[in-house]
Amino acid sequence: MSPPGSSPCERSFRWSATIFVAGFVALAAQVLLLRELIFALGCNEPFIGIMLAAWLAWTALGSGLSLGGGPRLARWLLLMAAGFVASVTAARLCRLAFGLTPGEVPVPAQITLAAVVATALFAFPSGRVFAIVVRLGGAAGGVSLSRAYMLEAAGACAGGLLTSLVLLGRFAPLAMAGMGAALLAGAAAAFAERRGLRAALAALAVIAAGAGWMEGAAFDQYLTGRLYPGFTMREVRHSPYGSLAALEREGSLSILESGSLLLLYPDPQSAEESVHLALSQHPAPSRVLLLGGGLQGGVLEAARHPTISSLDYVELDSTVFELARSHFASVWQRMLSDSRIRVHAADGRAFLRAMRDSYDVIVLNLPAPATLMLNRFYTAEFFHQARARLTPAGALSVRLPGGENFIGEARAAVLRSVAASLGDAFPRVAALPGDSVHLLGLREAAEPALSAPALLARLSARRIELQYLGEHMLPFRVTPERMRALESRLEGHAPVNRDFRPVATHLEALAWGARAGSFGPWMAGAALAMGALLAAVLGGVFRRGAPVVCAGATGLSVMVLQVLLVAAFQSVRGSLYRDIAVLMAAFMAGMAAGAALGLRAPGRRDRKRLAWLQAAVLVVGPAAFAAVTVLRQPWVFGLAIALCGLLAGFQFPVAARLDAARGDADARPGALYAADLAGACGGALLAASAIVPVCGFLWTAVLVAALNVAPAWWAFVSAKR
């Protein structure tokens, strides 16, 4: 099917524009879907890899499978348009489908199922569109496989940049989905066979764009409200760092960020717990830094200590403060009226780097290191940074989930790792027991209070009376028996948690799995199911020789490196939710540039070129890791990710020419593209579920290099034949 009533030049433009638009919308859909699943299910970074794997698997199946019947590009473009809106809606409502209560963490099976179903609605028709454009556009419009690959990557780059720099934060997700659907409906109109149908599709595009622009935000608010039955939805805001929802029920107000409970007000027990045990570790704290958790009462509780002259309260997301002005007005006004309290919307690590003053006590009041963004505040590097900002008698307090009478082995492993990381930076580490365990990093001259009498004496001297940590409760919490039991759980060797080896995040996932049920079988089952589906695509890979094998190996390697660099970016910068579209756009920009270079390269030396490109993939992993380790600047991460895309993009036209020379490449027009995507799917699964969390970033880069030894050797041997 060619565009009706057009010259060859016009047909070529329409085919090219269609694949560009498809790539443009596809990356916008991928970013939105990732953010929506994070918002609905509170996923951590490893499960982002699972979502990417599902996306790549469905796209590979769509492009690689031969479906019966004549191809209808307009039909598949409309299915992409409908799938965009449906996938975002399905991601938003998956909590409701699973019957999850507000703040409840889903089990791995639910996360995997949500990712597989939601991505299928868009990714499969997206793969079919690519295959149809290659088959029909190559014959009628001069759009070859390699040119389509380049145009799709260029469109994805543009879509990622526009989504990140213009749309996110200004439009609700469903409004953006409506606009993307309008673009695809407009593209479908160009390929409709009848004039009346073309007019109807053009009208549909206008209606979809208008509905997305005007009613998308209202529909978005309605769907979000459906997620939390029994609660009154006060407000929803989408910030660069997450989606926040303010919920009210029976006089209590909850703030959820990306599906997880951020704070609850009023919560006097948590407010007392968050600061008083920490501040009692210094004889007379004057300058205090509170990182997170202040709006539920922690800041005002800390201000009760009369010796405090300056209290800096830092939250990463300024949207939290905007919600506080609206829904915590009394707390917010009391904070602002105290001249000692200074509120900062900043990254905690960046704030510490910028400050030159010292603190008597630094209180870390954040959730457990379940994500790489949170793990940045539980690493040895951060603890060294905090120690440098403490006075000689200063103390750092870290609060983690524990157990009043019993701590299981999985939870104890997290505590041991964080304690070992504190010990890497501080000469002395102490701990206080309870449902929340307080780990203390103490400077050389510190005078801690580690018993109930000592704690009560300091609180009494400051004339602070507490309800939950007072003389009637504290002696039963900090008993000698509980102190010894906690010390025994912290004994033994434990790996140090580091920025580029985030073992605490992996251990936290294991602790979560111990509560929710083992997720190993679910991960293995998901991998086997995807592998069985992809076998249909890759069944003839080895039969077709080195070009397709190299394409699959490069897809796998580059995806592992992409997950590695994205995880490293999150560990260092902590702003992945905001910047993921830019990072993906950088990858696609490199891929488009590489494909353009590959198209221009003369074909007579393709065999040697393929071998050397595979050797370059072998080297790029360790080189990229070394660069981001030394420099740690955002542009370095973007450049390293773009370089990975450049190598993959350059190799694809070379492999396509070699594969076409075999004479059977047209039998299944998307087969090489499917092999590339299938390898990337395997890479995303391996990187997210095993390699990155278990091996750490350095050994992941080394494993990627080792993985490419055999394909590179095969390519060099084939080049000599």
How does pLDDT run across 9-54, given as a tens digit for each residue? Answer: 777 788 888 899 999 999 999 988 888 888 777 777 777 788 888 9
3-state secondary structure 244-281: EEEEEECCEEEEEECCEEEEEECCHHHHHHHHHHHHCC
What pLDDT score was predicted for residue 163? 86
What pLDDT score was predicted for residue 541? 45
- The mean-pLDDT minimum among 266-270, 393-397, 615-619, 688-692 falls in 688-692
Domain boundaries, the chain: 8-223+506-720, 262-505
Among residues 400, 383, 454, which one has the least CA distance to residue 274? 400
Band (362; pLDDT cuts 50, 70, 90):
very high
Mean pLDDT across 187-199: 63
Question: What is the rounded distance in angstroms from the CA atom of residue 284 to the CA atom of residue 459?
Answer: 11
Reply yes or no on whether the pLDDT at 526 is more than 50.
no
Band (155; pLDDT cuts 50, 70, 90):
very high
Question: Treating both helix axes as pointing N-terminal to C-terminal, what angle do 606-631 and 696-707 enclose, rounded to 10 degrees?
Answer: 170
The proportion of the chain whose per-residue pLDDT surpasses 70, expressed as a percent, equals: 84
Question: What is the rounded distance in angstroms from the CA atom of residue 542 to the CA atom of residue 308?
Answer: 70
Q: Domain 8-223+506-720: give its CATH code.
A: 1.20.1250
Domain 262-505 has CATH 3.40.50.150: yes
What is the maximal distance between C-alpha atoms in the chain?
90
What pLDDT score was predicted for residue 197? 53
Q: Are 352 and 386 in contact (CB under 8 A)?
A: yes
Q: Which residue has the higher pLDDT, 97 or 443?
A: 443
Mean pLDDT across 101-113: 78
Question: Which range, 127-136, 198-207, 379-388, is most confident?
Answer: 379-388
Band (142; pLDDT cuts 50, 70, 90):
low
Mean pLDDT across 612-633: 88
Q: Are 201 and 195 in contact (CB under 8 A)?
A: no
Sheet of 232-239, strands arranged across: 232-239, 242-249, 252-257, 260-265
Q: Copy the structure tokens of residue 631.
A: 């420099």
Band (194; pLDDT cuts 50, 70, 90):
low
Q: Copy the structure tokens of residue 162.
A: 């526009």
pLDDT tens column, 319-350: 888 888 888 888 889 998 999 999 999 999 99
What pLDDT score was predicted for residue 418? 97
Reply yes or no on whether the pLDDT at 453 is more than 50.
yes
Reply yes or no on whether the pLDDT at 183 is more than 80.
yes
Annotate 411-438 with b (16+ C-beta within 10 A) or e (fewer): bbbbbbbbbbbbbbbbeebbbbbbebbb
Query: Which residues is 171 bridged to in the sheet?
Result: 168
Cis peptide leading into 392, omega within 30 of 0? no
What pLDDT score was predicted for residue 637? 94
Mean pLDDT value across the chain: 82
Tokens 């353009």, located at residue:
596
Strands 310-315 and 341-345: parallel
- Name the 3-class secondary structure at 368: coil
Among residues 626, 623, 495, 635, which one has the least CA distance to residue 573? 635
What pLDDT score was predicted for residue 517? 47
Band (539; pLDDT cuts 50, 70, 90):
very low
